[in-house]
Amino acid sequence: MNAEVRLMKNMLEANDQVAANNRDFFASQDMLVLNLIGSPGAGKTTLLLATLDQIDDYNVAVLQGDIETNIDAQRVAQTGTPVLQLNTHGACHLDARLVQQGFQEMSITPDILFIENIGNLVCPAQFDLGETAKVVVVSVTEGDDKPYKYPATFHCAGAVIITKLDLLEHTDFSIDRFLDGFRAVNKVAPCFPVSARTGQGLRPWLAWLKEQCSKVKTEAV
Amino acid sequence: MHEAALALSLLSIVLKEAETVGANRVLSITVQAGEYAAINEYALTFAWEIAAKGTAAAGAQLLLQAYPGSRDLIIESMEVQK
Ligand SMILES: Nc1nc2c(ncn2[C@@H]2O[C@H](COP(=O)(O)OP(=O)(O)OP(=O)(O)O)[C@@H](O)[C@H]2O)c(=O)[nH]1
Ligand SMILES: [Mg+2]
């Protein structure tokens, strides 16, 4: 006998349940948790280092995702910020369980936790880690067509950073064309053009960061 | 790109549900695939065929329905043989 069984189940439920637990825990600790997503070499770690340099009045920790090596964790460790490297050994994204385990291993509760995801503009967007917001990092050398080509990732961004602005004049990147594509899939998230190398444009990004931090704390009461 | 991980997750949910309802075979599965779920139907079907091999869901057909404006992947229903 054949029968139809109605399920209406989230295919990613195993990950999403752990992510929901992470999110509840982070909220209970008034933590701002940002999931940094961008292509390989977009400039995620460099942006992170430039940011850490400017927010020494906050307790910050970093979970550093890479397929292999602890190169990026070492770069972060040089700033004195607590950091733990997460290696996925091939997987194209971090998942909620890796973050849960990594965070437990660090056994600290910072004001801000940065999670640098695997260099990839597609898969990380699909896996909720329990973060407060996703921050998508894109560089001017990648071209201004990225929101058109990777709409899913830009759709779920809580903020977007266009980095390597110091190289703008050497490229044909148009910030207007980028924004047109970005606004087509995301009407609300702010966009910050910066150079992590020169520090240009960092101030609005840092202001947003601090604003999010106080938001998390007031929402908790 | 992560369709293999999705296929395995789909398989574990489907097999568990099939057991709960006392089905001995799964014939087809309908999935609502959000526009922003970044799912490639070809890659998912391919990964699914391999993942389901040797299980009660072997050979089950995957039916993907596109859902605009969403990033969700919802397993809507399945047809089973009891
Ligand atoms: N000119 C310039 N170069 C930059 C800037 N930001 C990063 N870079 C360079 O871009 C390269 C990649 O930077 P990373 O910060 O390692 O990039 P990433 O996104 O962390 O890379 P993965 O972790 O491997 O995915 C390095 O050589 C950086 O020095 C910038 O604002 N301006
Ligand atoms: Mg990096």
Residues of B with Cβ-Cβ distance to A14 under 8 angstroms? 9, 12
A interface with B, Cβ–Cβ < 8 A, is 1-15, 91-93, 120, 122-123, 125-127, 151-153, 155-156, 185
- For residue B1, what pLDDT is reported? 58
Q: Which long-range contacts (CB under 8 A, 24 or more apart) does A198-202 make?
A: A198/A165, A198/A166, A199/A50, A200/A165, A200/A166, A201/A165, A202/A50, A202/A51, A202/A54
- Looking at domain B3-81, its CATH architecture is 2-Layer Sandwich (3.30)
A12 pLDDT tier (thresholds 50, 70, 90): confident
Q: Does the beta carbon of A46 sit less than 6 angstroms from any atom of ligand 1?
A: yes
Nearest to A7 among B1, B12, B78 (CB): B78
| Burial class, A120, CB count within 10 angstroms (exposed 0-12 / middle 13-18 / buried 19+) | buried
Counting atoms of ligand 1 from 1, which one is nearest the CA of A194? Answer: 31
Residue B21: its pLDDT value, please?
A: 95
Mean pLDDT of A30-38: 98
A15 CA: distance to closest CA in chain B (Å): 9
Spell out the long-range contacts of A73-76 with Cβ–Cβ below 8 A and sequence spacing 24 or more.
A75/A45, A75/A49, A76/A45, A76/A48, A76/A49, A76/A52
The residue segments making up the domain with residue A156 are 3-220
Protein residue with least CA distance to atom 1, ligand 1 = A164
Percent of chain A having pLDDT more than 70? 99
pLDDT given at position A113: 98
What is the pLDDT at residue A221?
56
Number of CB atoms found within 10 A of residue A69's CB: 11
Query: B16 exposed, middle or buried (CB, 10 Å; 0-12, 13-18, 19+)?
Result: exposed
Query: What would the mean pLDDT of A82-87 be, rounded to a whole number?
Result: 96
Chain A residue numbers with beta carbons less than 8 Å from the beta carbon of B22 are none
- Judge: A152–B74 Cβ closer than 8 Å, yes or no: no
The whole-number mean pLDDT for each consecutive block of 10 residues of chain B, a chain of 82 residues, reads 84 95 96 86 93 96 90 93 93
Alpha-carbon distance A154 to nearest alpha carbon in chain B (angstroms): 10
By residue count, chain A amounts to 221
| Mean pLDDT, chain A, whole residue set | 95
A72 or A13, higher pLDDT: A72
Average pLDDT, whole number, for chain B?
92
Mean pLDDT of A94-122: 95
Provide mean pLDDT across the span A62-71.
Answer: 96
pLDDT given for residue A220 in this prediction = 63
* CATH number of the domain enclosing A157: 3.40.50.300
Asked if B74 and B32 touch (Cβ cutoff 8 Å), the reply is yes
Span of A22-26, A56-60, B69-73 with lowest mean pLDDT: B69-73
**Among all chains, which residue has been given the structure tokens 């909620």?**
A96
| pLDDT computed for residue B44 by the predictor | 93
Kindly report the protein residue whose alpha carbon is nearest to atom 9 of ligand 1.
A43
**Residue in B with minimal Cα distance to A4:** B79
- Which neighbouring-strand residues pair with B66? B33
What's A43's DSSP letter? S
Phi, psi of A193 (to 5 degrees): -80, 125
Indicate if the pLDDT at residue A140 is higher than 70: yes
State the Cα–Cα distance between residues A145 and A178, nearest whole angstrom. 6
Q: What residues does each domain of chain B span?
A: 3-81
> In the predicted model, is pLDDT for residue A147 greater than 60?
yes
Structural domains of chain A, count: 1
Q: Where are the alpha helices (DSSP H) in B1-82?
A: 3-20, 41-52
Buried b (16+ CB within 10 A) or exposed e, A50-66: bbbeebeeeebbbbbbb
**Beta strands B73-81; A112-116: pairing state:** unpaired
Nearest to A103 by CA among A32, A35, A22, A13: A22
Q: Does B24 touch chain A (CB under 8 A)?
A: no
Please give the biggest Cα pair distance in chain B: 36
**DSSP letters of B49-67?**
HHHHTTSTTTTPEEEEEEE
Locate tokens 């209970």: which residue?
A28
